[in-house]
Amino acid sequence: MPDLNGADIWLHDVARGLDTRLTTDPSLNSSPFWSGKGDRVGFHSLRSGTLKLYQRAVNGSGHDELLPFAGESMVMNQWSKDDQFIVYVAPGEKGDYDIGVLSMREGAPGDRKPTLFLHTPFNEYHGQLSPDSHWMAYSSDESGEREVYVVPFPAGGGKTQISTAGGEQPRWRGDGKELFYLAVDRKMMAVPVRAVAGATPTFEAGAPVPLFETNIYQINAGPMLYQYDVTADGKRFVITTVEAAAAPPLNVVTNWQAALKK
């Protein structure tokens, strides 16, 4: 386990098997997210004493850039595929969590400012914009347990429940036609979806299908952590798992009755 008082972000080149250190600040640097174009990484850092959002070019040029319009305690959930939005979670006034959006565009009124998107008395986690940025998937405990929902973006309203028996950490397939999430029994689930954006958006979800056991450490990882990611074609997954503990050695004592007589 890394030392949470000082952790850095590294890049791993799968083809070459090469690791490159991206951050060097001695504080905690964690929870990296790729930009839509893959040329930058957004991450959290405690270097100022409070959790704030930074970005860094993956080619190593420049420096760690503080996103000055991001307030304290904002937890990044996603950088949208079109590079236009950063989805974040922030604590609400009553201790609950809300989902907001940071516009990364420049030049129009209201851009480069945070805006709350889902603000309810319940906890909303793990906001994920669809590849076309017309839909927001998220998990909420409004029913008494965490379930996955989808609402139109940016209009909101008209939510569709995706999971049927608990779920969290939704992820979109690259073409937006399938959603994945973690069930309460730690299985990876897949749900086919049909989405039509426009003046009267419609969203239809099929029945959840279990794909495989994940062996993740815990299902309730909180609003900051994602324990898996999936490739754009939906065929390969990267999962944070826990190695099964090795069975303790078994010692067999033979002729023990004779030993008692000594």
pLDDT of res. 3: 44
- What is the longest distance spanned by two Cα atoms in the chain? 92
pLDDT of res. 53: 87
**What's the mean pLDDT in 216-238?**
80
- Its sign, for the CA torsion 45, 46, 47, 53, is positive
Tell me if 170 sits within 8 A of 179, measured CB to CB.
yes
Distances (CA, A) of 244 to 212, 241, 248: 17, 9, 12
Evaluate if residue 2 carries a pLDDT over 70.
no
Q: What is the dihedral of CA 63, 110, 153, 163, to 10 degrees?
A: 50
Please tell me whether residue 197 adopts helix, strand or coil conformation: coil
pLDDT of res. 237: 93
Residue pointed to by tokens 């299908």: 209
- Its sign, for the CA torsion 70, 99, 128, 18, is positive
pLDDT of res. 69: 64
Tell me if 178 sits within 8 A of 186, measured CB to CB.
no
Evaluate if residue 132 carries a pLDDT over 90.
yes
- Give the integer Cα–Cα distance in Å for 127 and 169: 8
Residue pointed to by tokens 């062996």: 215
**What's the mean pLDDT in 219-242?**
81
pLDDT of res. 48: 82
Of the ranges 85-94, 148-157, 221-230, 253-262, which is most confident? 148-157
- Give the integer Cα–Cα distance in Å for 108 and 114: 14
pTM: 0.83
How much is the mean pLDDT over the chain? 85
Distances (CA, A) of 153 to 75, 142, 206, 212: 20, 20, 20, 30
**What's the mean pLDDT in 15-41?**
90
Residue 220, amino acid: N
